[in-house]
Amino acid sequence: SEHPLAAAIVQACAQKHECHLPPIGDFEALIGRGVTGKLEGRRYYVGNHQLTEENRVCSAEVEAAIERLEGEAKTPVVLTDDTKPLAVLGVADTVRPESRAAVSALHGLG
C-alpha cells in the first residue's frame, strides 16, 4: 500500500527485524478501512476498527488494545485473517521541531 501508515509499519519492521515483503495476491485497498490480500493462499486484512467489525473478527481483547492505543495518542491498526484477530499495532507520528511554529502561525491566521 502507498498509505503513510503502511509505510511506517514497513519501515519500523525493517529497522527492528530482518524483514522482507513476500508477494501478496489479490491485493485490494479498502478505502477508509484498510487493505486485504492473500499470502500463501490465506486472506489477511490490515485495517482499522471498522474493518474488524465488518469482518466480524473483533473481540474484547482487540477493543481493549484499541482503547489503550488511542489513549496513548496512537492510531490502532489491526491485522486479522478471515476468522480471528492476529495483532494490534499502534502507530504514532513524531512531533517535528517546526510543528510549534506552524501551529502558532495557524492560530495567528485564526
Quote the radius of gyration of the chain (alpha carbons, Å): 17
pLDDT tens for 1-48 read 677 888 788 788 788 888 777 888 999 999 999 999 999 999 999 999
5: enclosing H helix or E strand: helix 4-16
**Quick check: 63 and 92 in contact, CB under 8 A?**
no
Residue 34 identity (one-letter amino acid): G
| Percent of the chain topping pLDDT 70 | 99
Query: Grid coordinates standing for 95?
Result: 512531533
**Quick check: 52 and 83 in contact, CB under 8 A?**
no
Calpha distance 84→15 (Å, rounded):
27
